[in-house]
Amino acid sequence: MRPANPAWRLLTVALVLLIGAGLYWATIKVNYQWRWDRVPEYLLITGGEDVLSPVDGTVAVQGKQITLTPLLGGEPQTFPEIDVVQVSDGEIVFANNTLGKKSGVTPGPLLVGLWVTLQISAWSLVFALILGLIAGLGRVSANPAARDMAAIYVELIRGTPLLVQMFIVYFFLGTVLNLSGFVAGVAALSVFTGAYVAEIIRSGIEGVAKGQMEAARSLGMSHWQAMRHIVLPQAFRRSLPPLAGQSINLIKDSSLVSIMALTDLTKAGREIVASTFSPFEVWFTVALMYLLLTGLLSIYVRKLEKKMAHD
Amino acid sequence: MTKTIAPDAEVLIDAREVSKRYPNGTQALTKVSLQVRRGEVVCIVGPSGSGKSTLLRTINAMESISSGEVTMDGISVHHPKTNLNEVRTHAGMVFQQFNLFPHKTALENVMLAPMQVLKMPVEEARERAGKLLEKVGLAEKAQSRPSQLSGGQQQRVAIARALAMQPRVMLFDEPTSALDPEKVGEVLEVMKQLALEGMTMVVVTHEMGFARAVANRVVFMDGGELVYQDAPEAFFSNAQHERLRSFLGQVLPH
């Protein structure tokens, strides 16, 4: 390729600046108060964290440790390492009273949300890969029932919106089976992503030369042995780049679990916006945090692709 | 050159009136009967599309048949109750496109089936694989991946891989057709060595020189039928049959 004229790069920069300036101008028009200075505390809390009493009870103080005996009976709870104790020994406290403060840096709501998002994505990815492998093998199976079941699964899931599936899992299955928001979220995301993984695996298997299966079978290996030792390892290598792309989608799709009683990164953002009325700063920050996750993943994927091209 | 086999050697492979018709109506084989005795080397020649590869592949049931029967050591290969995986361990197959496993080294390619199918311990499988690679002249390539080997080397590894199961018969499906001309000799040399050691071989080939020098019997197929078979001298010098004569006229140097 001929090296492009650097003037085009300048045009790109100019256009981006222009769009940014336009946005800024628009916020001035609506008298928006930018308060970027408040964003760091959504990420990290440095002022110390209040420790609240979960129930009504009597407290016993031993140095930095507080023991709470519930008034209505039950196991006493201990709260170790309270740096600033704000109750005295023998005092009766009510639920949500402050027991004391922990000093030091604690993660703010956005970082906590990011951690929840990461956990949901990771668990969903594991189950999506398992589901997708089973369904993908079903798609190429010689058994018509397995083939049909896999096809129905893939078509049903790919033909309906994820949000609707979430509503079904959370409000219907979640109520019937009494699932927590986390379990329901992981279930919905795994089932959804699994359908796409199944198609990736199917095309990976179909991309392995027919002669590979033939050679393995001619040596006396069973269909399953040939799949496991010969076809699947090669199919996985071909499937890695699209699978990585699908994991990036999974991270983004996980923002929909915020409809469940589950404080992921998006829900955390919504809660902060509701109490602070600074939507632009918060949503830009949230978007950047997602971008960081997906960006890191795609850099890793690009490295992986390069490495596989060499092998 | 050609080894002699006892005329009373037992029949190892017996194909009787084998026919194969594809669902689209194409008739690939029509009532083909072929017997191969233990220790015999049979070359199958014929124009492309004559059904010679299909016939070879019915012997280890890589290809199903519509009617007739194929037995190997008295076991009916295509009978529904036959354990195909077991039958196939007794018939080593070598393919035109080599079909080595690209994600494994040459040594691992040879070791895999004995370990997986025969449940052989790793050490024993490695030792056997090493000896076989030595036999095909590739001991120093044991740790190479197929992509690092030439076509001729890949095909020799493929032969070693098939031999690792200690088969009773070796089936070669145009083993040199995908090779550069200068690589054909090294593969044929390995095959000739095998033949001299007494291996039973069925070889689909276009290499008339090999057929003439090594085979005990040459079989001519055309249009899904077995047209003519004879010992090589008679086959190549005394072509009474018209279709055979015209085929030989095309493939033999004038």
Element (H, E) at B63: none
Is B34 in contact with B58 (CB distance < 8 Å)? no
The answer to whether B117 contacts A225, with C-beta atoms less than 8 Å apart, is yes
Number of helices followed by number of strands (H, E) in chain B: 9, 10
Measuring CA to CA, which residue among A79, A141, A86, A215 is closest to residue B146? A215
Instruction: Give the minimum alpha-carbon distance from B85 to chain A in angstroms, rounded to a whole number.
Output: 4
pLDDT at B203: 96
- Specify the residue for token string 């090594």: B214
Closest CA to B90 of B214, B199, B219, B211: B199
- Measured CA to CA, the distance from residue B175 to residue B183 in angstroms comes to 11
Per-residue pLDDT tens listing for chain A (311 residues): 677 788 899 999 999 999 999 988 988 888 888 888 888 888 888 767 777 888 888 888 887 788 888 888 788 888 877 777 778 888 888 888 877 877 777 788 899 999 999 999 999 999 999 999 999 999 999 899 999 999 999 999 999 999 999 999 988 888 888 888 899 999 999 999 999 999 999 999 999 999 999 999 999 999 999 999 999 999 988 898 899 889 999 999 999 998 888 889 999 999 998 888 888 889 999 999 999 999 999 998 888 878 776 55
Residue with tokens 């033939």: A214
pLDDT score for B52? 94
Using CA atoms, how far apart are residues A249 and A193, in angstroms rounded to an integer? 9
Q: Is residue B247 within 8 Å of B33, Cβ to Cβ? A: no
The set of residues, in sequence order, having a beta carbon less than 8 Å from that of B101 and lying 6+ positions away, is A212, A215, A216, A230, B108, B109, B112, B146
Q: Chain B residue closest to A310 (CA)?
A: B147
Q: Which of A214, A219, A233 sits opposite B117 (nearest CB)?
A: A219
If one counts every other C-beta atom within 10 angstroms of the C-beta of residue B177, the result is 14
3 state SS of B252: coil
Separation in Å, CA of A226 to nearest CA in chain B: 10
Contact A217 B88 (CB under 8 A): yes
Angle between helices A279-310 and A109-139 in degrees, nearest 10 = 40
Closest Cα to residue A252, out of A194, A303, A189, A171?
A189
Q: What is the pLDDT of residue B40?
A: 94
E strand intervals along chain B: 11-21, 27-37, 41-45, 67-72, 75-76, 91-94, 169-173, 200-204, 217-222, 225-230
Per-residue confidence (pLDDT) for residue A309, from 0 to 100: 66
Task: Report, as ranges of residue numbers, the positions in chain B whose pLDDT lies below 70.
Answer: 1-3, 6-7, 239, 254
Q: Which residue has the tokens 């076509």?
A: B151
Which chain B residues have a beta carbon less than 8 Å from that of A225?
116-117
State the smallest CA–CA distance between residue A221 and chain B in angstroms: 6
CATH topology of domain A48-103: OB fold (Dihydrolipoamide Acetyltransferase, E2P) (2.40.50)
Is B112 close to A219, i.e. CB distance below 8 A? yes
Cα-only R_g, chain B: 18
d(CA A218, CA A260): 53
In this prediction the pTM is 0.78
Q: Residue A310's pLDDT is what?
A: 58
Query: How far is A226 from A204, CA to CA, in rounded Å?
Result: 15
Which residues of B lie closer than 8 Å to A, measured between beta carbons?
A: 60, 62, 85-86, 88-89, 91-93, 95, 97, 99-103, 112-113, 116-117, 158, 161-162, 165
ipTM of the complex: 0.91
Helix, strand, coil % (nearest 5) of chain B? 40, 25, 35
- Cα B128 to the chain's mean position, in Å? 21
Taking Cα atoms as reference points, which of A64, A96, A90 lies closest to residue A78? A64
CB pairs under 8 A between A and B: 60
pLDDT of residue A288: 94
Q: Do A221 and B91 touch (CB under 8 A)?
A: no
Of A218, A222, A225, the CB nearest to B93: A218
CATH (residue range A109-310): 1.10.3720.10
Q: Residue B179 corresponds to which tokens in the numbers above?
A: 């090779």
The pLDDT assigned to A311 comes to 59
Looking at residue B39, its pLDDT comes to 92
Alpha-carbon Rg for chain A, nearest whole angstrom, is 27
Domain definitions of chain A by residue range: 1-31, 48-103, 109-310
